[in-house]
Amino acid sequence: MFMGNQEVSPIMKDFDLTMKVKTEDKANSGVFIHCKRNNDGASYANGLEAQIANENKDPQKTGSLWSVQPVEKIIVHDGEWFDYRINVRGMTVTTFINGKQVNEWTQPADWKSPPGKPEAKLGEGTIGLQSNGGTVWIKDVEITLP
């Protein structure tokens, strides 16, 4: 999770996150949006996940909002560096790969998180980088606030 300093995790609503990403053979990862620190002070509720998965078995590929709005097409391949951008404005998340928009979703006012994913919603929080198997390289991470 992006923790800032030891006392405080940055709370963000709107932001633009850019990074360069490369997946190795069948890797699965993601970027959690609007994560919340749990009462224990050390763990986090996950928030909404922007998927990173190119040629693995998960049918929800890079650019998906996992379990909310999938992208089923492989846009980039394992072993290739690509630009990944996640833009959050209000209740809308837009994902871009190599400068091309691949997904956009607006959370409805009456949103109910998918079964088994009670934290899958927008609001505010920090971000988290996830690894769900395999090797994923991430570099040149930049967060811009409006």
pLDDT tens digits for 125-135? 889 888 889 99
Number of structural domains the chain divides into: 1
pLDDT category at 119 given cuts 50, 70, 90 is: confident
Strands (E), the chain: 15-23, 29-37, 44-45, 48-52, 82-89, 92-97, 100-106, 126-131, 136-144
- Residue 7 within any structural domain of the chain: no
Whether the full predicted model's pTM is greater than 0.85, yes or no, is yes
What is the C-alpha separation between 55 and 73, in angstroms, rounded?
Answer: 10
Residue 102 has pLDDT above 80, yes or no: yes
Task: Write out the residue range of the structural domain in which residue 113 sits.
Answer: 15-144
- Residue 57 within any structural domain of the chain: yes
Q: What is the CATH number of the domain that holds 86?
A: 2.60.120.560
- Residue 125 within any structural domain of the chain: yes
CA-nearest of 136, 141, 105, 128 to 12 is 128
- Residue 3 within any structural domain of the chain: no
pLDDT tens digits for 46-66? 889 999 999 999 999 999 999
* Percent of the chain scoring above 70 in pLDDT: 92
Backbone dihedral angles phi then psi of residue 32, each to the nearest 5 degrees = -85, 135
